[in-house]
Amino acid sequence: MDAYKPGQIVYVIIRNPHVQGVAQVQEAAVVNHPEHPGQLALFLHETYYPLTDELAVYPTVSEVEQAYAEAFGTVDEGAYYG
């Protein structure tokens, strides 16, 4: 996760916990974690998520779209929310 810097915009795939095959691409900001000095976090939906190796984070739209297509099929118009 050392490749990310505060202020960088990244992309993640968020799965819907209620519908198994539904997921969305979301834009997130890399920020300094306000509660853990020296650690980075993703700021998404007004919430801070620790930036760890357990998250699938993509630096570009094309990379996240490719990963989404491999996992869920093609990205339909309107499936991206940023």
Q: How far is Cα 65 from Cα 52, in angstroms, rounded to an integer?
A: 21
pTM over 0.85: no
3-state secondary structure of 11: strand
Which pLDDT belongs to residue 2?
Answer: 67
Task: Show the tokens assigned to 17.
Answer: 């916990």
37-77 pLDDT, tens per residue? 999 999 999 999 999 888 889 999 999 999 999 988 875 54
